Every structure is written in C-alpha cells, then in structure tokens.
Amino acid sequence: NAGVTQTPKFQVLKTGQSMTLQCAQDMNHEYMSWYRQDPGMGLRLIHYSVGAGITDQGEVPNGYNVSRSTTEDFPLRLLSAAPSQTSVYFCASQGLTSGNTIYFGEGSWLTVV
Amino acid sequence: DQQVKQNSPSLSVQEGRISILNCDYTNSMFDYFLWYKKYPAEGPTFLISISSIKDKNEDGRFTVFLNKSAKHLSLHIVPSQPGDSAVYFCAASAPRSNYQLIWGAGTKLIIKP
C-alpha cells in the first residue's frame, strides 16, 4: 500500500548545486503535483501535471523544473539551489475522477546552505 | 493576497471538548472545500470535504460547516481526542482551475489531557 513515495527524505545542498527530488505513485493517478511548505504559509504549488507528457507551472515555479515521462513518476529538479529554496517539499497525486482528494507523500526536507 | 485564511495559528482544547477550527476565503468562485490534517514529519492527509451546494457535511466526529454568504467554513471535532493534535489545513478550489487548490496557512490544534 505504497501510495505516493518521495525520496530523499532529507537533503542538504550547497548553493548552486543541482538535485532531483523523486516522486512515484502507484495509484494510476493522472494528476501529480509538487508543493512547498514554509513556516506560517500554506502549501504553495510549484508545478503540476495532468498526465504523461503534460506539465504546467503553479504559483512558485521559478528555480524548479519537472517532467512527466510516465504516469507513475514526477521528479522535481532544482537547477541551481538557493537558500530561498530551503523548505519542505511534498509530492501529491489525485485521480481526476475522484474529486479533489489529494494524496501526499511524506515530504522531503531540503536545506540549502 | 491570501485567498484562503486561517487566522488562528494555534488552538488549545481540553480533551473531550469541542474543537472548532475556522477558515475564511475571499474568492466567491470557490465551489469545493477540503480539510487536511498533518502530523509532524508526515504529509497532509485528507480529512473531510464539502461542496458549495451543501452547508454541512459530517463524518464521524468531524463536521464541516459552510457559510457561503460569510465566505466562512469551520471544522468541528467532537469530542476532541489526543490523537487529534495536529496541524489542520483548509483548502479550496474553483471550477475550471485545473484541479488546483488554494491553501490556508494551517492551524495547530493541541488537545490537552
């Protein structure tokens, strides 16, 4: 009963480094998304995808890149990490026929120094 | 400009009593509202939702009330239990928004023994 799986759970990066947060779901959901959560703020949408080969920007896309080559996987790439990208990142998925119920991964804690 | 506001960052309630968490929104186009619960070091999990065609939805100890004229919704937990201690997020979506949710900043609920 895996649901949404994110890796890594914790990561420390130096400014300017790049990295990829992995996300996989086994529920055959069409819709996948990445959020970041910062203290005192709600979840903010970074990028989302409504199906394989289709991605779009959310509220805070700058500095991030995504691709959706399969239904299951939706990796998030940090191109050149900055301290402002220190945050908790959540991957999520939902089936487009199941209303707006979103299923989240456990989160990835990223620190950029 | 926050479209979804949870004005109480935290709330402390005695075990067995009622917990009431509030959420206000500004966008009259929102037609679907959700509450998510989040424990530390875990992803948010879906709790309960309500469509704008209803003014109340109940699921066990959890009831969500929607007041469209006041653009206000609330989550009632009765009776409150220690396991209810968590951060609660309110989220909303509008038609034709490509399934995007707008999130409040969350309210940390602490249930005192």
pLDDT score of B1: 66
Report CB contact under 8 Å: A45, B45.
no
* pLDDT tens readout for residues B67-102: 999 999 999 999 999 999 999 999 998 887 767 889
> Using CA atoms, how far apart are residues B69 and B36, in angstroms rounded to an integer?
23
Cis peptide upstream of residue B113 (ω within 30 degrees of 0): no
Question: How does strand B62-67 pair with strand B32-38?
Answer: unpaired
Report CB contact under 8 Å: B43, A4.
yes
pLDDT score of B100: 82
pLDDT score of A1: 58
> What is the average per-residue pLDDT within B17-31?
96
Report CB contact under 8 Å: A106, B41.
yes
> Using CA atoms, how far apart are residues B35 and A87, in angstroms rounded to an integer?
22
pLDDT score of B46: 92
> Using CA atoms, how far apart are residues A50 and B55, in angstroms rounded to an integer?
30
Task: At A80, list the tokens.
Answer: 């050149």
* pLDDT tens readout for residues A55-113: 999 999 999 999 999 999 999 999 999 999 999 999 999 887 656 678 999 999 999 99
Q: Residue A13 in contact with residue A78, Cβ under 8 Å? A: yes
| Phi-psi region at B40: left, alpha or beta (left = phi > 0; alpha = psi -120 to 50) | beta
Considering only the C-alpha atoms of chain A, give the largest distance between any 2 of them, rounded to a whole number of Å.
41
> What is the average per-residue pLDDT within B4-20?
96
Chain A contact present for B9, CB below 8 A: yes
Report CB contact under 8 Å: A90, B98.
no
- State which residue of chain A sits closest to B7, comparing Cα positions: A40
Chain A contact present for B101, CB below 8 A: yes
Chain A contact present for B43, CB below 8 A: yes
CB pairs under 8 A between A and B: 60
pLDDT score of A95: 81
Report CB contact under 8 Å: B42, A45.
no
- What is the nearest CA distance from B63 to chain A, expressed in angstroms? 17
Q: Phi/psi of residue A59, each to 5°?
A: -75, -35
Q: Residue A37 in contact with residue A86, Cβ under 8 Å? A: no
CA–CA–CA angle A10, A34, A110 (5° rounding)? 20
* pLDDT tens readout for residues B40-72: 889 999 999 999 999 999 999 999 999 999 999
Lookup result for tokens 């006041």? B70
SS (H, E, C) chain B: CCCEECCCCEEEEECCCCEEEEEEECCCCCCEEEEEEECCCCCCEEEEEEECCCCEEEECCEEEEEECCCCEEEEEECCCCHHHCEEEEEEEECCCCCCCCEECCCEEEEEEC
Q: Residue B35 in contact with residue B92, Cβ under 8 Å? A: no
pLDDT score of A2: 67
Query: CA separation (Å) from A85 to A8, A48, B11?
Result: 16, 18, 29
